[in-house]
Chain A
Amino acid sequence: MFAFVLRRLAVAIPTLLLLIVLSFVLMHLAPGGPFTQERALPPQVLANLNAKYGLDQPLWRQIWNYLWGIVVHFDFGPSFVYPDRTVNELIADGFPVTLTYGGLSFVLAVVCGVALGVVAAIRQNSLWDHLAVGISIGAQVLPNFVMAPLLVLVFTLWYRLLPGGGWSFSDPSFWVMPVIALGTSYMASIARITRSSMLEVLGSNHIRTARAKGMPEHRVILRHALKPAMLPVISYLGPVFVSMITGSVVIDIYFSTGGIGKAFVDSALNRDYAVMMGVTILVGALTILFNLVVDVLYAWIDPKIRY
């Protein structure tokens, strides 16, 4: 297992490098640049800007300088669009926000999703099942860009219970709506995967054996059914976790959280090269890391799996 983890980490470095180089080149191929704007800049002003940010250098050199900055100084460069800030600062500002509401959403989605799925499966075709399936389908079909303004309407305008947006680490009332709006559709997917996986496991031989031995039903479910039923859920959770904690542009836009999801999309639209690269690397590294975590979890849950 240890050797496996080491091997995977060794592969991760060239993967990340490839990601950086490809993104860098693709980004520069897109028309326009960070300083393309409505009122075209006089050539000299543009030249001064390009010189300041090193954009006048050949592309290979820019990539090299960029990588050098990261490896040697852990410096992801300056933002071209937010000249008062560096990419490190922007990520340090935005990522904790996203991590907070994304992480809480994840917990909400997993706890509620698994609970709904399990209830639906063990009471298949009962009222509970229909209710659980109904909730999860409802949550799935209501996209978060509909859910978000709806939440603001109800909780901010009608009931005046929650602030309509913004962010504060010290006041959890700012967290409620982003967490709900982001979490529900993931919760729905988790519930449905759990339900079908659980149904399959409940029909398998070892469950029948357990029941035949007279084991109490709650032990059958919790001890013998739940663990194997979690396998497909876990493979789904790896990428979901990364996408939740690296932000959602929809949540950031509707709730003005200052999170990193919108920063990422904006950086692409603004051609804010350094910010875009910084977030790409962050998301890439997290994706690689959590795929590895999922693989390790797999081996822990299912002893048949050997690496």
Chain B
Amino acid sequence: MTKFFATTAIAVALALPAHAVQPAEGEVLAESQSYTYWLLDAIKTLDPARNTDVEGSDVLRQLFEGLMNEDATGAMVPGVAERFEESDDKLTYTFHLRDAKWSNGQPVTAGDFVHAWQRVVNPATASEYAWFMELMNIVNATQIVKGEKPPEELGVKALDDRTLQVTLTTPTPYFIKTLSHATTYPVPQSVIAEHGDDWTQPGKLVGNGAFVLAAHNLGVDITLEKNPEYWDAANVLMQRVQGVTVNDNNVALTRYQAGELDRVQIPAGQYPRLSQESPDQAVSIPYACSYAYVYNVSDKGPEALKDVRVREALSLALQRDIIVENVLQGGQRPATTWTHWAIEGFDQPQTELATMSQADKTARAQELLAEAGYGPDNPLALTLQYNTDDNHKKLAIAAQQFWKPLGVNLTLNNVEWKVHTDRMQNQDFEIARYAWCADYNEASTFLDWFRTDGYNSGKWSNAEFDRLMAEAKTADDTAPLYSRAEEILAEEVPAAFVYHYAKVDMINPKIRGLPTDNVLNTWYAKDLYRLAD
């Protein structure tokens, strides 16, 4: 079976850009093609194997290019790979690479990918994202990370300079979707060999992306300039991209308004005002993260939370509409499922939580809690732990108020981030706030969390759920499996899902080409252009 990305992909690529966003007729381009965007914090690393965060990925995506890219809707489009073939057993993928070059003029070869992927799983690299290669189910990834096999045995081979073959341990429906992730980018072997850990410094870093690193002042700004060696450079309009760190969101907004930034996050609670004042600038885009209160149902958790009636009552009584409309106010949506509503190919099941009115839900919550033996006369004492953040605090106070009439005395326990994480991972909590963001645009990125051997801090476990998730790995139609899995979560309530994120930003209307339909908010500076004032 051979899959082409588009019919006659190669012919099209010669004549036209395969996917670059182009100005519409009548649009006048600005003389200076530059884009300046906001960074909350310093870029921690520019080494694709060591990057762990979203802001780092945003920069790496401009400096490097993986086998695949995403288009404005999040669909996979050719990157360095022009096309690929999938074997009938869905275990082997063969990628045919285009004639691409590193920014130093050297060709990008299949061997560069092999080297990069081996480097990620090599224990000597100590990559925090080594697990990503395990998630991709590449042959021997797990054993190599464990040090049981040498990195050379990773299931990735260069058949020749332009052909890359990847073998998987199990059919993985989302495999192709992982290939735009920064962890899978190729890295320049010779440059790393020459400079060691310093290879990511300006002047040394060599990439294969549409931009090159011009300057990097840690915690101040990072500047990228167009890479003339990029294979599609002829269709890249943007010349200069700058990420500017502003640690305070309100100051960042002021600087946006002063014209120093082209894009900035809107501070909590300011979206309604800004969207009225500047409807052409304030945007709210679905963003694939979900927020939840996780119950500890492990041995170390409180007895009361082992009762599903208590868990469900607490979930029903959370007035999500109020949280979304009065607290967050940024176009977020109430969550009745763990999977973000906008994830591709996901049908939200019609559960009680999704269909009942809030009044009915509150009444049902009281009944359930009474059945479980709790109520205003016999109050239930629980502790909600959250990490330091104004929004988490507001939501925790709201939850406290929603649960109080049920007879739940909720103690709020605010701890710093590392303590919060440490306690969650050691089941040293009762209820904890948690959020998860998608690694790729498919429901399993969320649902895997609740597998018995998933991250699953509350240690909930369900055999049917595990079986469904295993089945989904090889199924042709995964939608019903994921819906059923969500139904189990709705019945068993291992956590109270609170809301689904939105990305709430101010964007300079002169900047075009930023995706508004990509739930992972994956953007490529090569697709951007600036209109004249």
- Known contacts A40-B425, A269-B418: does B124 contact A52 (CB below 8 Å)? yes
Q: Does A239 contact B (CB under 8 A)?
A: no
User: Within the assembled complex, what's the spacing in Å between the Cα atoms of A98 and B350?
Assistant: 57
Q: Does B193 contact A (CB under 8 A)?
A: no
Q: Which of A132-140, A224-232, A256-264, A287-295 contacts B (4 or more CB under 8 A)?
A: A256-264
Kindly report which residue of chain A lies nearest to residue B221, judged by CB atoms.
Answer: A166
Q: Does B527 contact A (CB under 8 A)?
A: no
Scan A265-278; emit 1 where CB is below 8 A from any B CB, else 0.
00001110000000
A156 surroundings in chain B (CB, below 8 A): 254-255, 258, 260
Scan B423-439; emit 1 where CB is below 8 A from any A CB, else 0.
10100000000011000
Kindly report which residue of chain B lies nearest to residue A271, judged by CB atoms.
Answer: B418
Contact A258 B218 (CB under 8 A): yes
User: Within the assembled complex, what's the spacing in Å between the Cα atoms of A270 and B247?
Assistant: 16
A258 surroundings in chain B (CB, below 8 A): 42, 217-220, 245
A83 surroundings in chain B (CB, below 8 A): 44-45, 47, 50, 197
User: Within the assembled complex, what's the spacing in Å between the Cα atoms of A94 and B445?
Assistant: 38
Contact A165 B124 (CB under 8 A): no
Residues 31-45 of A at the B interface (beta carbon under 8 Å): 31-33, 35-42, 44-45
Contact A45 B130 (CB under 8 A): yes
Scan A3-32; emit 1 where CB is below 8 A from any B CB, else 0.
000000000000000000000000000111
Q: Does A220 contact B (CB under 8 A)?
A: no
Q: Does B416 contact A (CB under 8 A)?
A: yes
Scan B220-238; emit 1 where CB is below 8 A from any A CB, else 0.
1100000000000000000
Contact A41 B218 (CB under 8 A): no
Contact B254 A152 (CB under 8 A): yes
Contact B247 A256 (CB under 8 A): yes
CB within 8 A of B255: which of A37, A41, A148, A152? A152
Kindly report which residue of chain B lies nearest to residue A257, judged by CB atoms.
Answer: B220
CB within 8 A of A252: which of B52, B217, B247, B421? B247
User: Within the assembled complex, what's the spacing in Å between the Cα atoms of A82 and B41?
Assistant: 12
- Known contacts A32-B422, A37-B421, A156-B255: does B45 contact A45 (CB below 8 Å)? no
CB of A24, distance to nearest CB on chain B (Å): 17
Interface centre among A41, A156, A165, A269 (most CB of B within 10 A): A165
Q: Does B94 contact A (CB under 8 A)?
A: no
Kindly report which residue of chain B lies nearest to residue A148, judged by CB atoms.
Answer: B251
CB within 8 A of A153: which of B244, B245, B254? B254
User: Within the assembled complex, what's the spacing in Å between the Cα atoms of A267 and B398?
Assistant: 32
Kindly report which residue of chain A lies nearest to residue B52, judged by CB atoms.
Answer: A37
CB of A222, distance to nearest CB on chain B (Å): 43
User: Within the assembled complex, what's the spacing in Å between the Cα atoms of A83 and B254?
Assistant: 32
CB of A148, distance to nearest CB on chain B (Å): 8
Contact A256 B418 (CB under 8 A): no
CB of B451, distance to nearest CB on chain A (Å): 13
A153 surroundings in chain B (CB, below 8 A): 254
User: Within the assembled complex, what's the spacing in Å between the Cα atoms of A52 and B128?
Assistant: 12
User: Within the assembled complex, what's the spacing in Å between the Cα atoms of A149 and B251?
Assistant: 6
CB within 8 A of B419: which of A31, A148, A149, A157? A31
Kindly report which residue of chain A lies nearest to residue B418, judged by CB atoms.
Answer: A32
Contact B247 A254 (CB under 8 A): yes
Q: Does A200 contact B (CB under 8 A)?
A: no
CB within 8 A of B145: which of A33, A44, A51? A44
Scan A234-263; emit 1 where CB is below 8 A from any B CB, else 0.
000000000000000000111011100011
CB within 8 A of B220: which of A52, A53, A167? A167
Q: Can you list 23 residue pairs at the A/B interface with Cβ under 8 Å?
A: A30-B418, A32-B418, A32-B419, A36-B422, A42-B145, A44-B123, A44-B145, A44-B147, A51-B123, A81-B44, A82-B44, A84-B46, A84-B50, A84-B198, A94-B219, A152-B251, A153-B254, A157-B254, A164-B258, A165-B244, A166-B244, A256-B219, A257-B219
What are the 7 tightest A-B residue pairs by CB atom distance, in nearest-first order? A32-B418, A32-B422, A164-B255, A258-B219, A52-B126, A258-B220, A253-B247
Residues of A within 8 A of B (CB): 30-33, 35-42, 44-45, 48-49, 51-53, 78, 81-85, 90, 93-94, 148-149, 152-153, 156-157, 160, 163-167, 252-254, 256-258, 262-263, 269-271
Residues of B within 8 A of A (CB): 42, 44-47, 50, 52, 123-124, 126-128, 130-131, 134, 145-147, 197-198, 200-201, 217-221, 244-248, 250-251, 254-255, 257-258, 260, 416-419, 421-423, 425, 435-436, 455
Q: A42-B134, A48-B130, A165-B255 are in contact. List 6 more A-B contacts (CB 8 A).
A: A30-B419, A31-B418, A152-B255, A258-B217, A258-B218, A258-B220
